[in-house]
Amino acid sequence: YLGACVELGPEDVEADKASGAKVTYFEGYLWDPPRAKEAIRQTATLAHAAGREVSMTLSDPFCVDRYRDEFLDLMRSGAVDIVFANSHEIKSLYQTSSFEEALAQIRKDCKIAAVTRSEKGSVIVRGDETVVIKATTIKELVDT
């Protein structure tokens, strides 16, 4: 349940906060309400005009399926600088079963991508740079 954010619109954007935050973050699920899209685009414009960055999470593969072209446009147009995703979401975004292929694509489409891979840890890419982070070993899994 998205709660009150489904009512988010351009009139809710506070210019000083959008231009003052080092990185503004939005959830991919928030792309569902049309007025929220306007607010996000407005915020991105304000943030970039102030030399700041905008980040988003892909949220889930179903969200990616609904908005694939729009998410890619946000990234490729420079409206979104940083993308957070898991391996399923990034493969869905690029319609491939290959994690390596999806990672190669997202490397071209945004400044930074941070991708979680469950027990395989995480990968962060920025241009040609790649940082692999191993998953933390746990003794007993209680709840995922």
Cα distance between residue 80 and residue 109, in whole Å: 9
Q: Categorize the per-residue pLDDT at 6 as very low, low, confident or very high, splitting at 50, 70 and 90.
A: confident
* Arithmetic mean of pLDDT, 106-113: 97
Cα distance between residue 113 and residue 107, in whole Å: 7
Which residues, including other chains, have CB under 8 Å from residue 61's CB and lie 6 or more apart? 88, 89, 91, 92
Q: Categorize the per-residue pLDDT at 38 as very low, low, confident or very high, splitting at 50, 70 and 90.
A: very high
CA distance to 2, 27, 91, 136, per residue, from 62 (Å): 15, 14, 12, 28
Look-up of token digits 């905008």: 54
The answer to whether 10 and 39 have CB atoms below 8 angstroms apart is: yes
Mean pLDDT of the chain: 94
Number of DSSP helices (H) and strands (E) in the chain, helices first: 5, 6
- Report if pTM > 0.75: yes
Residue 5, Cβ neighbours under 10 Å: how many? 16
